[in-house]
A and B are shown apart, each in its own frame.
Chain A
Amino acid sequence: SAVISQKPSRDICQRGTSLTIQCQVDSQVTMMFWYRQQPGQSLTLIATANQGSEATYESGFVIDKFPISRPNLTFSTLTVSNMSPEDSSIYLCSVSATGETQYFGPGTRLLVL
């Protein structure tokens, strides 16, 4: 499976600021996704990062709050904008080469004060 890294691994931010999370894969992959895992809960898909076009967002998530870029087949960013304490969560990217099985990055732990 691909080696996936995320930066930063963790951060503590002030409310009202924005944080950009990077996801890097060591090989080209067909699909990249961004998930959120809130404390004590399971994973929820935020959006599918599409290479060369706008991301596809799930219900309850919007581009103004979570802008996503995917400039090539190995890299994507997720920005959490105008943060509030409710955004405190783990943010995970996942990748899929086949379009079926997904592998996850190590996650970014975000705490918003």
Chain B
Amino acid sequence: RKEVEQDPGPFNVPEGATVAFNCTYSNSASQSFFWYRQDCRKEPKLLMSVYSSGNEDGRFTAQLNRASQYISLLIRDSKLSDSATYLCVVNWDATNKLIFGTGTLLAVQP
């Protein structure tokens, strides 16, 4: 089983659509979880941290299910500028080692 697993996509959605990405991780001892966004030929940028209680930042909602070792990201009212690769990232252990998923490609169409 991969350490962090994501559907690579691509997800092609129209503007205004709601889209959800899922991610699973294999290490039950992992403590911190993140979604990063990576635009083409750019470095990853932190989108949001993911907390057990779930958290929301504008159009973006992240959820964590520790029992199922599952993380999700929901994007509402998609914009063209949301087109990017979304990386699910898990802080693996106490050494602060980050494990990256392969990323999910989102293409928002006009």
Contact = CB atoms under 8 A, between A and B. Distances in A.
A19 interface: no
Interface string A40-56: 01111100100000001
A102 B98 contact: yes
Contacts of A112: none
B96 A96 contact: yes
Interface string B61-102: 000000000000000000000000001000100011111111
A31 interface: yes
B104 to A, nearest CB: 11
A89 to B, nearest CB: 13
B49 interface: yes
B40 to A, nearest CB: 12
A104 to B, nearest CB: 4
Interface residues on A, range: 20 to 34
A106 B45 CA distance: 10
Given A42-B87, A100-B32, A107 B98 contact: no
A44 B101 CA distance: 10
Interface in A79-113: 92, 94, 96, 99-107
Interface of B: 32, 34, 42-46, 49, 87, 91, 95-103
Given A100-B96, A107-B43, 9 more contacts: A31-B96, A42-B103, A43-B87, A44-B100, A48-B96, A103-B46, A104-B43, A106-B42, A106-B43
Interface of A: 1, 31, 33, 41-45, 48, 56, 58, 92, 94, 96, 99-107
16 contacts: A33-B98, A41-B102, A43-B44, A43-B87, A44-B100, A45-B99, A48-B95, A56-B95, A58-B97, A92-B44, A99-B96, A100-B91, A100-B96, A104-B44, A104-B45, A105-B43
